[in-house]
Amino acid sequence: MMKLLSTAVAGGATAFTLVALAAVPASADTANSQFDVVFPGDKPQTTYSVQNIATLSGSMTGKSIMNWQIVDDRVVDNSKRFTSFKITTRIEERLTKTTEDHVVTSKTCDWTKIVNENHSWFPVDPANTCVAPPTVYDGELWWSTDSTIVYDIEGDGKGAITQKLDGSPLIHG
């Protein structure tokens, strides 16, 4: 009975060790981007800041968090600033450190209402966070989170403007 118990304990410890070795360590990498939008008329110039965050914690996740503030706090024109303001957050993979990215998952979030209703936004909450669907992590590939904002300024006559943002540093291994 004693020999059977010690074999079971040793087998359990070995299984636990194998599970612990197979577990993927948690890590996260962030890139920050910033851009200004100048509106026609007396609408205040606004600075937009975006964090693209790639997180590895069992699976690969990616999100973009945006905050913004007016440059001059003397708001003159409270009218609508954008006809459209959308961000697309992507989880991307590449075969090597230097090859091109391939989109694995993505999500487009429509933030037109929130940016029109708020001249500034600082808190981090679901309203200003766009999360791409998570995906299975493969340590042989190189991973990152990237995003693009497409906005159309009300009344400027220029149409949609595409703002590419910095992607997160690569995660590998």
Residue 14 lies in a domain: no
Residue 8 lies in a domain: no
- State mean pLDDT over 8-18: 38
Q: Are 38 and 93 within 8 A, CB to CB?
A: no
Burial 40-63 (b: 16+ CB within 10 A, else e): eeebbebebebbbbbbbeeebbbb
pLDDT in tens, 43-102: 889 999 999 999 998 899 999 999 999 988 776 777 899 999 999 999 999 999 999 999
pLDDT of residue 21: 36
Does residue 113 have a pLDDT over 90? yes
Residue 3 lies in a domain: no
CA distance 102 to 164: 16
% residues pLDDT > 90 (the chain): 69
Does residue 23 have a pLDDT over 60? no
Residue 18 lies in a domain: no
Does residue 8 have a pLDDT over 90? no
Residue 32 lies in a domain: yes
pLDDT of residue 26: 65
- State mean pLDDT over 24-51: 88
Number of domains in the chain: 1
Residue 145 lies in a domain: yes
Does residue 7 have a pLDDT over 60? no
Does residue 14 have a pLDDT over 50? no
Residue 11 lies in a domain: no
Greater model confidence, 68 or 13: 68
pLDDT of residue 5: 38
The CATH number of the domain where 112 resides is what? Answer: 2.60.40
pLDDT of residue 74: 74
**Could you tell me the CA-to-CA distances from 81 to 90, 125, 126 in Å, in that order?**
26, 22, 22
Residue 19 lies in a domain: no
- Closest-CA residue to 53 (of 23, 24, 33): 33
Residue 27 pLDDT grade (very low, low, confident, very high; cuts 50, 70, 90):
confident
Determine the structural domain holding residue 138 and report its residue range: 25-172
